[in-house]
Amino acid sequence: SIMKTMQPENSVSVSELRRRLDVGQPIELLDVRTPVEFAAAHIPGARLVPLDQLNCADFLKQRDTNDTPIHVLCQSGARARRAIENFRRIGFNGCVLVEGGMDAWLDAGLTVNRRESKVLPLMRQVQIVVGFLSATGALLALLVNPLFALIPLVLGSGLLFAGLTGFCGLAVLLAKMPWNQSGGCASSSCCTN
């Protein structure tokens, strides 16, 4: 049983995860998105621990059981992969990536819990900031000084880097903003059930 726990499959589709949940297979589901993303839609039974707050050693100590693989998801998969890599770094190999994350779960039309949130989704916040700063930089380059063209150049390069690597520094920064910290959870129970 120890070997089975330490070497589960590397990933699982959302349809297979749904099947496992339906048949009552014990599954520990870790959601590493932001509180706002979690509040907008999450899989029933998922436990929220945002990636930037995830201490893998502490998480493993607080588990009820060590027999169950940890199924990890985020919005599309990039943050979940980083979380799994963090678990591997401390010697734990019992994580399973939920392929496609919440995007795939929602695309498949599967059941979610939702909470009202007055905050825009993180990627829309990124688009607004980048769009506003790029337009402002371009306008300033045309009207004031051509060197202001560096602003949209830097922002475009950042988007290119995010697209190629799956890491968006602006999204990480925005996720830490106060308006993105309260996910609409009045109590901690909604994030752990």
Give the pLDDT band of residue 14 (cuts 50, 70, 90): very high
What are 96's strand-pairing partners? 71
Percentage above 90 pLDDT, the chain: 51
pLDDT at 157 over 90: yes
CB-based burial of residue 126 (10 Å sphere; 0-12 exposed, 13-18 middle, 19+ buried)?
Answer: buried
HEC per residue, 62-121: CCCCCCCCEEEECCCCHHHHHHHHHHHHCCCCCEEEECCHHHHHHHCCCCCECCCCCCCC
pLDDT for 18: 92
Contact 150, 172 (CB under 8 A): no
Residue 74 appears among annotated catalytic residues: yes
Give the pLDDT band of residue 9 (cuts 50, 70, 90): low
Give the pLDDT band of residue 25 (cuts 50, 70, 90): confident
pLDDT at 168 over 60: yes
Q: How far apart are CA 5 and CA 134, in angstroms?
A: 48
pLDDT for 135: 95
What are 48's strand-pairing partners? 31
The pTM of the whole model exceeds 0.75: no
Across 167-180, average pLDDT:
84
State the DSSP string of 151-178. HHHHHHHHHHHHHHHS--HHHHHHHTSG
Q: What average pLDDT is seen over the chain?
A: 84
pLDDT for 3: 37
Which of 74, 95, 168, 191 is catalytic? The answer is 74
Identify the residue with better confidence: 188 or 184.
184
